[in-house]
Structure 1
Amino acid sequence: MTEAAVRPTPTAPSVRPPWVDDARVAAWTAWVAALADNGAPTIEPVAPYDGRVTAAVPTCTVDDVAAAARAARAAQSPWAVLPYATRAEVVLRFHDLLVERQDEVVDLIQWETGKNRFSAWQEILQVANIARHYARHGAHYLKPHRVRGAMPGLTKVREVRVPKGVVGIISPWNYPLYLGVGDTIPALLAGNAVVSKADSQTPLTLLWTRALMAEAKLPKDLWAIVAGSGSVVGDALIDHVDHICFTGSTATGRHVGRRAGERLISASLELGGKNAMIVREDADVQKAAAGCLSAAFANTGQMCIHIERVIVHDDVYEDFRAALVDGLAGLKLGQSFDFGNDVGSLASEAQLAAVSAHVEDARARGATVVAGGRHRPDLGPLVYEPTVLEGVTDEMDVCLGETFGPVISLYGAGSDAQAVAKANEGSYGLSASIWSRDTAAAEALAPQVRAGSVNINDGAAAAAGSIEAGMGGMGDSGLGRRHGAEGMRKYTESQTIATQRLVPLGPPPSMEVGRFVALGNQQLKLLRRLRVR
């Protein structure tokens, strides 16, 4: 029995990477924390390039998830007391194996998602950088912090970071390595165990990575992988962990947040976006157009931080539009396991349907298709042309609804104020971009834009790739941050340890309470005059 799925009719010979044999698939799927006789349906994800099933992957029951969490909790205690350097050694070994064996997982990422090879390789770059960064700097993020106590000199106070315990991670299909593993690494290094839910479209990438982490000597039960539907496995995961990290749609993120709130566990949520790019009057339109192409159509537009709305000053609108269309004509669209294509396939029939619906709704309501706007089955079952729209109005679904595909809309603006107002329309606030020759003016404008990250003279990658700085959203784009100090500390609890020496707090036995209060009041006034605390 398999989960119901909408799948294209196979139209080409199998594109399964030749090195992927049944024995390897069986070894990877053995990492799913499911009993063989649990009676649960298997997942049969479909490869976007050919419409064929990649592999039958076992799924978990609620009991399987509970058992995985119990085993992870038992493994967490001895892991947490190891020196940080010992934990970091495992992650650095993983880093080296990942870089050495990257061609394997890049193949898997392409096979499962349909993205072009350069976009797949970018996941290697990001995860390797995250692994090195937290291995080298995580101990500093978790370092105990001395503060002044209630009675300076007599009260010694430290704030320390202790692991949450078991962290649950629910990651999506669009970046199965980066989003599945990039959050796991700091959670493990902070002393936690992890239970991850593999996305049903891309389970093999995460399972391959778990096997590689085992080669790096990560204890077996410390990182468990569960698989299955979100309504069963996802909810069960939230019910058995101490923190939930979710990346996905805003609608599902609200559900995750509510369920976590009922249990009084913390949650970090990176959700949807309708990201805007502002092209100021003084921008280099050629560079801005090239940056737009990269930020809008990388990963076939299937990334939470990609540009969907482009707001251009009226004085440079026509020049920018012309440069954008010229650049678009030079993009190579298609599917292959090499670096020959600039834009790959969409990931699923559902994504193709969503993208097509947004474009057709806009066209029917009067928008103009400047470029693209077509499904290209001649190039692949789920290939859709990079698309530029004009004349988009509020009643169109594409206006403020997340498309999550290779579609952008162009808008004019007469001033910076108008551009910012346009960028801030809607409820999302994830990422934004400003292009200007005057970087100081652009930087001053950036805080007026409601977005967790604002890129100056870059579309999206500069902020996301700066892993020492936090990444996350405002408004309906989520809660919390990944990367940087917060990207690790969110997996810990802050604990205050206060040691009182020599005398207790409060009046000594020989002093009347009234006398003690009077002295205390004198002390408050003195400290105020001395500007102390």
Structure 2
Amino acid sequence: MSSGRSSVAVANTSLTVDRLDRLTDRVRSTTDETIAVEAPATADRIGSVPDCSDADVDAAVAAAREAHADWAATPVDQRAAVIDRFSELVVDHRAELLDLLQLETGKSRQTAAEGLFSVPSACEQAVDRGPEAVADEPRGGGIPLLTTATVTYEPVGVVGVISPWNYPVTLSMADVIPALVAGNAVVLKPDEKTPYATLFLAELLERAGLPDDVLRVVTGEGGAVGPALIDRVDYVAFTGGTETGRAVAERAGRNLIDCSLELGGKNPLIVLDDADVEEAARGATTACFANAGQLCLSAERILVDESVFDDFLEAFVERTRQLTLGTAYDYDAEIGSLIDAAQLDRVRSRVEAAREAGATVHTGGRHRPDVGPYCYDPTILTGVDPDSQIACEETFGPVVTVQPVESTDAAVAAANDSPYGLNASVWTGDRSRGQRVARQVDCGTVCVNDGFAVGWGATDAPMGGFGDSGIGRRQGDEGIKRYLEARTVATSRVGPLVPSDQLPMGWVVEGASTAWQAGRRIKRAVRSLRR
């Protein structure tokens, strides 16, 4: 598959063209059709992967389904041990993984490293919590002392994971790892723009002891491979845009399978009147421009109390101008490239439309071909029409709007004036106040005095969206439980709970009422003691 491609981009890394080909060979496909993969930092073609057919997807799911039985029967501690060994391999092979990430995404190495090290964190959460999440759980029976109830948990079967291009390592493994520790087989479809790092992770899982076919990878165009996958699996985990997410949910619903969807956002960042504006400005540069803004959790709207608006804006513009752009394989640059020409056009056209409508560009607003073909300066806008596309829809680039608000209530109202609800942040000198305000913001995660890292890093807590930002949760016990089917086993200690010839119905009714009243009094007493 190396014919007709450039190795210029690969030459700057620890990788080789042959190494990419060996990764591609992990995709088992009968088709001759391929999809080219480009290095955003140079616009060079670095390889190609199979454009899998329906038959390829069918074969992958069938193989995963066959492998699932033995994997599900493997004790959870042994499954967790595989994940634990995998996390060590990820750290051991960090240099090659970072090179792969930069090669196929154009990220800065700083951003690549931040994403890479979230994988061991996800593994640690799965290893720590997996055994407890799948363990039998005693529940209260219908009639105390006479009946019992136990909930057992079984893996759903074969999970389809459809992962995005912006964080191919982080977001694929955030869904794959808990599915595996729960005892499922997985068929993973990475974005066609960024397949290589995902394929390398599949190789590392195999080295860690994951049995053959428990994880299969299929590549191809999302519009074709995605529906084929949804029609064959038992659960779908999707990360991507809201409109595509609607289509995924609709198809999953027709197949009567469950799904979790992490979708788009128009995330607000609120600066209260008592915030340290210098600290808020420092945090906002990361919150808005990490990964060149191509992050579902990044802030695209900043709402600043009017009493500190001018000071915050000045500090924020100054700090943003100090950000460094670059795509070299070192840690010097903070901001890397956009993913491709289409994403560059999306960002550039929205900024130009805002400018033409009267918005002020305080810094940025420029394509930077001197840095890379798809690089764009971090951009700050004020005076944006609140009903414009750039104010209401996700841009997914290094662009943020800043607007003054007259009060905390006004900031919360503006933050909630959106169909999205993925992530938000609140900046204040009073953490307790920040937590109170956070409870009023309609988002699945709200961070106080941080943009998103404290929320994403809280792997023991669930993460997901309200409204158009998705359904379901990853991370925490919820992130494992979504991949399990609950079964209730209820048992009677006294035989069938029906009236007998020796026990008239009237006696049953009176006896049950007396028992219920006694039980109610006991529960009330217990509640009082707990208070």
Band of TM-score, shorter chain: over 0.9
1:59 to partner: Cα distance: 2.1
What residue is the counterpart of 2:529 in the other structure? none
The 3 A distance-change label for structure 1 pair 15 and 325 is farther
More off after superposition, 141-150 vs 71-80: 141-150
1:508 to partner: Cα distance: 2.8
CA contact (8 A) 1:452 1:474 kept: yes
Structure 2 Cα separation of the partners of residues 115 and 353 of structure 1: 18
1:262 to partner: Cα distance: 0.6
Map 1:166-245 to 2 at 5 A: 166-245=158-237
Deviations 1:119-168 (A, max 9, x none): 10112210011112211221122222111212322322111211010101
Map 1:297-376 to 2 at 5 A: 297-376=289-368
The 3 A distance-change label for structure 1 pair 509 and 64 is farther
What is the letter of the counterpart of residue 27 of structure 1? R
The 3 A distance-change label for structure 1 pair 17 and 87 is farther
TM-score, normalised to structure 1's length?
Answer: 0.95
What is the letter of the counterpart of residue 21 of structure 2? A
What residue is the counterpart of 1:6 in the other structure? none
Equivalent of 2:9 in 14, 33, 46: 14
Structure 1 Cα separation of the partners of residues 325 and 421 of structure 2: 30
CA contact (8 A) 2:164 2:240 kept: yes
CA contact (8 A) 2:9 2:46 kept: no
Equivalent of 2:454 in 446, 459, 462: 462
SS of 1:220's partner is coil
What residue is the counterpart of 2:488 in the other structure? 496
Unaligned runs of 5+ in 1: 3-8
SS of 2:65's partner is helix
SS of 1:79's partner is helix
CA contact (8 A) 1:33 1:65 kept: no
Unaligned runs of 5+ in 2: 527-531
1:261 to partner: Cα distance: 0.5
Structure 1 Cα separation of the partners of residues 382 and 457 of structure 2: 31
What residue is the counterpart of 2:251 in the other structure? 259
Structure 2 Cα separation of the partners of residues 297 and 522 of structure 1: 65
What residue is the counterpart of 2:119 in the other structure? 127
CA contact (8 A) 1:16 1:111 kept: no
CA contact (8 A) 1:325 1:371 kept: yes
1:22 to partner: Cα distance: 3.2
Deviations 1:291-347 (A, max 9, x none): 000111111110000011111111111111111111112111122111010111111
What residue is the counterpart of 2:38 in the other structure? 46
What residue is the counterpart of 2:377 in the other structure? 385
More off after superposition, 160-169 vs 327-336: 327-336
The 3 A distance-change label for structure 1 pair 16 and 164 is farther
Query: Is 2:65 aligned against 1:73?
Result: yes
Structure 2 Cα separation of the partners of residues 14 and 526 of structure 1: 76
Between the aligned residues of both structures, percent identity stands at: 43
Structure 1 Cα separation of the partners of residues 256 and 200 of structure 2: 33
Q: Give the aligned length.
A: 523
Structure 1 Cα separation of the partners of residues 521 and 474 of structure 2: 43
1:18 to partner: Cα distance: 4.2
Task: Give the root-mean-square deviation of aligned CA atoms.
Answer: 1.8
Structure 1 Cα separation of the partners of residues 251 and 368 of structure 2: 41
1:24 to partner: Cα distance: 1.6
Query: Is 2:51 aligned against 1:93?
Result: no
Query: Is 2:502 aligned against 1:510?
Result: yes
Query: Is 2:275 aligned against 1:283?
Result: yes
SS of 2:328's partner is coil
Structure 1 Cα separation of the partners of residues 81 and 295 of structure 2: 31
What residue is the counterpart of 1:5 in the other structure? none
SS of 1:373's partner is coil
What residue is the counterpart of 1:399 in the other structure? 391
Equivalent of 1:23 in 18, 43, 65: 18
1:396 to partner: Cα distance: 2.0
What is the letter of the counterpart of residue 33 of structure 1? R
Structure 1 Cα separation of the partners of residues 198 and 240 of structure 2: 16
1:32 to partner: Cα distance: 1.2
1:43 to partner: Cα distance: 1.0
What residue is the counterpart of 1:408 in the other structure? 400
Equivalent of 1:446 in 411, 414, 438: 438
Structure 2 Cα separation of the partners of residues 209 and 191 of structure 1: 18
